[in-house]
Amino acid sequence: MKVYILLALIAAALTLILTALVRWCCLRWGILPPLRNRDVQSVPIPRLGGVAMTLALLLTMLLASKIPYMTPLFATTVPWALMGGAAAMCILGVVDDLIELDWVAKLSAQVLIAGLMGLGGVQLVSFPIFGLTIGSSRLSLVLTIVVIVGIINAVNFIDGLDGLAAGIVAIGAGSFFIYSYILTRIMGAPSYATTASMTVVILMGVCVGFLWYNFHPSSIMMGGGAETLGLLLGGAGIVVTGQIDPALLGDGQVFVGLLPIILPISVILIPIGDLVVTSIRRMLKGRSPFHADRSHFHDRLLARGRGHREVVAILWLWTAIIALPAAALLVFSVYKVAAVALPVLAITVFLTFYEFPFLRGRRRKNLQEVPAHDKS
């Protein structure tokens, strides 16, 4: 555990330093993209924060490869495939930030990167329950690509407010680390060092470090870095499925075996819902579902009078209320987790609806329309 904490701190520190350097370079050389209609910032700010995040992640992983406790992990191709995928996705993000690729070219590049990662060993070859295996290597590769590309775009989808994507991924990665680390102990592994745990704890450190600059008011955006975060989150979920021996979990903990799939989904549950609703709304208006606008959930909250930080805090809270109980199921029974999670969920629901000014306004209007003798 001490090594993991050290890696998270190193990742955060490197991100702090490198983000400041990247921001200075952008300002010094005028690499400031023009404002778009969907942007919430009032003035142009650097959008290459993903470069600093990726560099910090890669440097931390390279450092981990020199630590005796972690060195055996790098004898396989998996961590190198994750690093190569992160570097390639970062390059794609920079190109997209500078010249704005069309969605077909961007999606094709994402599929290629995910496919190369799959060939490098980051591949979904079994389901984490009942010991099921995917019978075809081609099907395994296709499923891997679908999962990774889906998570990449879901995380990228929420990168619309200062600190939103970084905070959500930090919460999800932290939950995933707790799950992966405890799972390793339950499995009775000779070493608690795993590629999945190492990846997500470094990812968490990178996100926390970046929030220093990215929390509202942001001085730099991550740009294409959101796609790198999604790639690593999805990759870690696939890698951790190989750690699970269903026989050791017991019949009463079959659900726990699904957590490598549930946790990444829990992190992107809100953006997936936003993606579906927003896409349907765009198509009903005769637009492409990929048409960029300000019709996302967080955009509508802002338009209805909520503060930037309030909206971000609400979405962070929803991520935590979904992801943390999922990880807790590995240690505690469903009943104990529910006893704590349900009251918190009720409070979160209340706070969310309380933060919708239009609902409060509608309620006041309805009360005003009710005759005086009916208001009692």
The string of pLDDT tens digits covering residues 171-194 is 888 888 888 888 777 766 667 788
Beta-carbon contacts of residue 282 (< 8 Å; ≥ 6 apart) = 288, 289, 291, 293, 295
Amino acid at 68: P
**Contact assessment for residue 267 and residue 172, using Cβ atoms and an 8 Å cutoff:** yes
Whether pTM > 0.75 for this model: the answer is: yes
Per-residue model confidence (pLDDT) at position 370: 39
Indicate the length of the chain as a whole number: 376
Peptide bond into 128 cis (omega under 30): no
Model confidence band, residue 25 (pLDDT cutoffs 50, 70, 90):
very high
Phi, psi of 364 (to 5 degrees): -65, -40
Residue 19 has pLDDT above 60, yes or no: yes
- What are the distances in angstroms from CA 221 to CA 94, 193, 360? 12, 32, 33
Per-residue model confidence (pLDDT) at position 52: 95
Closest Cα to residue 124, out of 283, 234, 17, 264? 234
Per-residue model confidence (pLDDT) at position 371: 44
The string of pLDDT tens digits covering residues 107-136 is 999 999 999 999 998 887 766 555 566 667
- What's the 3-state SS for 35-101? CCCCCCCCCCCCCCHHHHHHHHHHHHHHHHCCCCCCHHHHHCCHHHHHHHHHHHHHHHHHHHHHHCC
Per-residue model confidence (pLDDT) at position 59: 97
Dihedral (C-alpha) 20, 21, 25, 31: value to the nearest 10 degrees?
Answer: -50
What is the rounded average pLDDT for all residues in the chain? 78
Per-residue model confidence (pLDDT) at position 369: 44
Per cent of the chain over pLDDT 90 is 27
Instruction: Show the tokens assigned to 306.
Output: 């909520």
